[in-house]
């Protein structure tokens, strides 16, 4: 397990992902649209820095799913990231 957090902690974190990751769990807050946007930006940054996400299983997890009335992210927005 490698927790690089957001914001990314530089090239060293990406290098570890390329060499050591057996999978990646992307986590965002369903009540905060900015968290999905940040996740998408970091994912794109990983791809641009030659992290081949096709070779590493990735899971996208939305937190606070129980706060139905507070959700601000739609399923179609999530599917766009995948």
pLDDT of 14? 62
Q: Render the burial of 42-77: b for 16+ CB within 10 Å, e for the rest.
A: bbeebeeeebeeeeeeeebebeeeeeeeebebeeee
In the beta sheet, which residues pair with residue 60?
26
pTM: 0.75
- Which residues in the chain land under pLDDT 70? 1-19
Give Cα 45 to chain centroid, integer Å.
11
């Amino acid at each position: 397990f490698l927790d690089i957090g957001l914001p990314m902690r530089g090239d060293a974190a990406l290098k570890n992902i390329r060499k050591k990751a057996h999978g990646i769990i992307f986590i965002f807050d369903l009540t905060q649209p900015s968290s999905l946007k940040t996740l998408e930006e970091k994912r794109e940054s990983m791809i641009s820095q030659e992290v081949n996400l096709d070779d590493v299983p990735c899971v996208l997890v939305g937190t606070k799913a129980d706060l139905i009335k507070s959700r601000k992210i739609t399923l179609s927005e999530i599917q766009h990231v995948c």
